[in-house]
Amino acid sequence: MTSTQRRLTGRILVDLPPGEAFGLFTPRDEQNWAHGWRPQFPAPAPDDTEPGTVFETDAHGRHTNWLVTGQQPGQRISYARVTPGDQAGTVTIVINDAGRHSEIEITYQLTALTDTARRTLDEFAAGYPAYLQSWQDAITAWLHHRPLAQTTTARRVAHRDDAGNAKPVGGDRGLGWRRPVGADRAERHAADPEDSDPRRG
């Protein structure tokens, strides 16, 4: 029996403090570690984490529309996404301090729009742990090889206001930044994330 809706939550560890880990999951910056992730912005977006920002992705014949629905720099960012005739839902990233690391909680809330999409959603749910592991592997590999110059985006959220809250500095991002598929494709994500990322379209 297939399911029309799924809420999937899992966690990964990132070897960065929360202020820096935040930059890994913004639209532009995810490009650093997620192969094939190429967001396009129909309107100017100097701050791609600003709620209300719209962007689009295309992969494997699927076009997905994205909307930034909320963010707290260094703590969380959330998106709504719609792939017409396929799936719709949200992706929420919550960043928790874990000592010298960050624990990243990743939640997909997805609704299938067709019978085929329901089967695909069930397959994605079955492979969700492997899918998130592929995120962690890709991020770890990028962190190991990244140029030192690619730490500037993370520093944007290290600035704090008078209340001590982290806040972005502004300006375009040049660093690095999530759609459903089956368990087998999730396992292939480490080799080719574009092929198996349900957040992508």
Give residue 131's domain range. 5-196
Amino acid at site 61: G
Q: Is residue 77 part of a domain?
A: yes
What is the pTM assigned to this prediction?
A: 0.75
- Asked whether residue 60 is assigned to any structural domain, the reply reads yes
Specify the pLDDT at position 196.
Answer: 43
In whole angstroms, give the CA distance from residue 139 to residue 176: 10
Q: Are 149 and 176 in contact (CB under 8 A)?
A: no
- Residue 174: which CATH number? 3.30.530.20
Is 67 a domain residue?
Answer: yes
For the chain, what is the HEC assignment?
Answer: CCCCEEEEEEEEEECCCHHHHHHHHCCCHHHHCCCCCCCECCCCCCCCCCCCCEEEEEECCEEEEEEEEEEECCCEEEEEEEECCCEEEEEEEEEEEECCEEEEEEEEEEEECCHHHHHHHHHHHHCHHHHHHHHHHHHHHHHHHCCHHHHHHHHHCCCECCCCCECCCCCCCCCCCCCCCCHHHHHHCCCCHHHHCCCCC
Q: Can you give the pLDDT at residue 109? A: 98
Q: Is residue 201 domain-resident?
A: no
Is 54 domain-assigned? yes
Is 137 a member of any domain?
Answer: yes
Q: Side by side, which strands form the sheet with 87-98?
A: 5-14, 101-112, 87-98, 76-83, 62-72, 54-59
Task: Single out the residue of 93, 96, 117 nearest to residue 19, CA to CA.
Answer: 96
Q: Output the pLDDT for position 156.
A: 45
Say how many domains are in the chain.
Answer: 1
pLDDT block averages, 10 residues each, the chain of length 201: 88 96 96 92 97 91 93 97 96 95 97 95 96 96 78 42 39 31 40 46 46
Does residue 103 lie within any of the structural domains? Answer: yes
Is 9 within the bounds of a domain?
Answer: yes
